[in-house]
């Protein structure tokens, strides 16, 4: 008796849960048909903006405490006037951002419209494959974001945004930026260390670190965190890039697959599996570790390396060129006058430098968006309307003066970036035409670097390649293997580097690395012919 009631009861609960889910589904599919209905209408010609709408704009960053909210009010006035729309901000904070970001997309219910994304540092493709983004048809784009359509079309970049022939992303392809990583070091110290011309190859860093170790007792040569984004990639990828011609293929989340060289990009390098270069890396890192270039407990270190460098407690910091000339160099000039911070970029000594993928910044429209057309209209303004652009990227006009001729933007003397700046983190459609030259940036060293880059850098060869991870079941275990061995190898946390490398290689093979390489090569061949 009791059991029967219980069974009935459970069955009812199951039914309830199932209907709840199917309700959701039908709700969302009707939402879809609605939106496609309106799409049909709008492609008829005129864009209907009679209804005032709120466009939810999702980007990454900590919730701002500066003037962003005040600027948003002003920005929305402009947007209301120009497109009868306003935007609401939705932040994905930096803590565990990738998880939060993917979860927000997975649980969307019409509460997202414009989504800042990226194919290299955010999971744009996996999310597109799972249906998180709306397909952007040619009509939809041409009608609602005509300027964007034209600009990207003229550059021939729509192909980089396609998955199975359908467009899902709008690339930030007309914004020049260099996001190639390197090491920031103090030239004043480097000079004393005998590196008058600066650091230009990987091994020079050792000389520099040793000098810091010997001469600056309060300073750790590189007070790095032993996390993947902190130091592990900084060392292992740096060595890999500076000692081979291999080219990184984005989109796997873990750096295991690199093309052989720019002349042979569609074969995967076996650097990790065979040869001496990787062993040399392990040995050198063991030496560096023993010499104390980083903390003994580096793998658990929680220091903010950049802050430590500002305070003179770390001799170096690792990040990309943009960070160098917009942030670290200017800050160091202020906080450590005379430090004359330089940047050694990975691949400098062997000229192995690749331009970034055009979708390093991109904008997508959420699949469940209630107003995809309006979202695209707003996007077009964000990218091409100077007034909107300035509000989003520079904030209150009272805070700066703009020299019309040189296009140099100078901040007022009392301008304080921590309280007066705005942070919309609009990384999905910045546009060189609209940009101003920020007077606080270190343009001189940047332009020097840029000139070098322009000479050697090649185009990213895998712009149209979207890895199909369904056919790469080895990835999870490979990822675990890499995350287990790489930290130890990269920070020399072993008594026997050669042995550890051999162990790592065996573990990679056991986890199916060779099959995975073959599969990636096959997928590359499918994309690029051959």
Mark residue 255 as left, alpha or beta (left: phi above 0; alpha: psi -120 to 50; beta: remaining). beta
Residue 30 in contact with another protein, rule: CB under 8 A = no
| Angstrom distance (rounded) from CA 258 to CA 242 | 13
Residue 18 in contact with another protein, rule: CB under 8 A = yes
Could you tell me if 328 and 306 are in contact, meaning their C-beta atoms sit under 8 angstroms apart? yes
Stretch that binds another protein, among 207-215, 296-304, 403-411, 435-443 (CB under 8 A): 296-304
Residue 17 in contact with another protein, rule: CB under 8 A = yes
**Residue 306 Cβ, how far from another protein at the closest point, in Å?**
18
Residue closer to another protein, measured from CB, 23 or 65: 23
CA distances for 440 relative to 390, 409, 423, 444, 449, angstroms: 17, 9, 17, 11, 17
Q: How far is CA 53 from the centre of its chain?
A: 30
Residue closer to another protein, measured from CB, 411 or 491: 491
Considering only residues 85 to 114 of the shown chain, the ones binding another protein according to CB under 8 A are 98-99, 102, 105-106, 108
Identify the residue among 197, 296, 454, 515 touching another protein (CB under 8 A): 296
Residue 12 in contact with another protein, rule: CB under 8 A = yes
Stretch that binds another protein, among 178-186, 390-398, 452-460, 474-482 (CB under 8 A): 474-482
Identify the residue among 471, 473, 496, 515 touching another protein (CB under 8 A): 473
Residue 480 in contact with another protein, rule: CB under 8 A = yes
Q: What is the CA radius of gyration of the chain?
A: 25
Identify the residue among 60, 132, 282, 381 touching another protein (CB under 8 A): 132
Question: Helix or strand or coil: residue 259?
Answer: strand
Residue 329 in contact with another protein, rule: CB under 8 A = no
Q: Which of 342, 344, 351 is nearest to 444 (CA)?
A: 342
CA distances for 177 relative to 173, 305, 356, 410, 427, angstroms: 10, 23, 8, 21, 11
The 10 Å Cβ neighbour count of residue 124 is 25
Residue closer to another protein, measured from CB, 114 or 367: 367
Identify the residue among 36, 38, 100, 227 touching another protein (CB under 8 A): 227
Residue 299 in contact with another protein, rule: CB under 8 A = yes
Q: Are strands 247-248 and 400-403 parallel, antiparallel or unpaired?
A: unpaired
| Angstrom distance (rounded) from CA 211 to CA 292 | 12
Residue 143 φ then ψ, to 5° = -75, -45
Q: Which residues bind another protein (CB under 8 A)?
A: 1-2, 5, 8-18, 20-22, 24-25, 28, 98-99, 102, 105-106, 108, 123, 126, 129-132, 226-228, 232, 252-254, 295-297, 299-302, 367, 469-470, 473, 475-477, 479-480, 483-488, 493, 510-511
């Amino acid at each position: 008796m009791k059991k029967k009631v219980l069974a009935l009861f459970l069955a009812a609960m199951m039914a309830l849960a199932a209907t709840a889910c199917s309700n959701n589904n039908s709700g969302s599919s009707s939402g879809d048909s609605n939106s496609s209905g309106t799409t049909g209408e709008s492609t008829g010609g005129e864009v209907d903006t009679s209804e005032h709408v709120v466009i939810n704009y999702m980007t990454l960053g900590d919730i701002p405490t500066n003037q962003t909210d005040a600027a948003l009010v002003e920005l929305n006035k402009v947007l209301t006037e120009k497109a009868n729309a306003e935007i609401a901000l939705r932040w994905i904070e930096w803590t565990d951002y990738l998880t939060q970001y993917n979860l927000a997309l997975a649980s969307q219910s019409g509460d997202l419209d414009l989504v800042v994304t990226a194919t290299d540092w955010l999971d744009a493709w996996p999310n597109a494959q799972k249906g998180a983004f709306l397909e952007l048809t040619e009509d939809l784009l041409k009608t609602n974001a005509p300027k964007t359509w034209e600009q990207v079309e003229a550059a021939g970049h729509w192909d980089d945004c396609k998955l199975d022939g359908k467009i899902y992303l709008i690339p930030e392809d007309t914004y020049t930026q260099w996001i190639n990583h390197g090491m920031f070091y103090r030239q004043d110290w480097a000079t004393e260390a005998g590196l008058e011309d600066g650091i230009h190859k990987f091994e020079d860093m050792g000389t520099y670190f040793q000098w810091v170790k010997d001469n600056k007792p309060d300073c750790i040569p590189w007070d790095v965190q032993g996390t993947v984004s902190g130091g592990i990639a900084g060392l292992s990828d740096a060595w890999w890039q500076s000692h081979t011609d291999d080219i990184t293929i984005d989109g796997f989340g873990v750096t295991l697959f690199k093309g052989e060289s720019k002349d042979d990009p569609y074969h995967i390098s076996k650097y990790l599996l065979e040869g001496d270069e990787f062993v040399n890396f392990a040995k050198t890192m063991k030496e560096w570790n023993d010499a104390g270039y980083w903390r003994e407990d580096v793998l658990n270190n929680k220091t903010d390396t950049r802050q430590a460098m500002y305070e003179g407690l770390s001799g170096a910091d690792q990040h990309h060129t943009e960070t160098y000339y917009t942030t670290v160099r200017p800050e160091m000039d202020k906080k450590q006058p005379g430090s004359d911070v330089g940047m050694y970029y990975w691949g400098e000594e062997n000229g192995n430098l690749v331009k970034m993928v055009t979708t390093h910044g991109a904008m997508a429209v959420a699949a469940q968006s209630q107003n995809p057309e309006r979202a695209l209209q707003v996007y077009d303004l964000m990218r091409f309307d100077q007034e909107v652009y300035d509000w989003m990227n520079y904030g209150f006009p009272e805070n700066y003066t703009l020299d019309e001729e040189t296009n140099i933007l100078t901040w007022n003397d009392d301008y304080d970036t921590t309280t007066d700046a705005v942070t919309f983190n609009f990384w999905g459609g910045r546009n060189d035409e609209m940009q101003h030259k920020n007077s606080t940036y270190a343009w001189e060293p940047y332009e020097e670097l840029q000139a070098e880059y322009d000479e050697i850098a090649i185009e990213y060869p895998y712009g149209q390649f979207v890895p199909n991870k369904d056919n790469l079941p080895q990835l999870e275990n490979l990822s675990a293997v890499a995350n287990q061995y790489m930290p130890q190898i990269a920070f020399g946390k072993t008594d026997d580097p050669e042995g550890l490398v051999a162990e790592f290689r065996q573990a990679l093979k056991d986890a199916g690395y060779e099959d995975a390489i073959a599969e990636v090569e096959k997928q590359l061949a499918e994309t690029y012919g051959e």
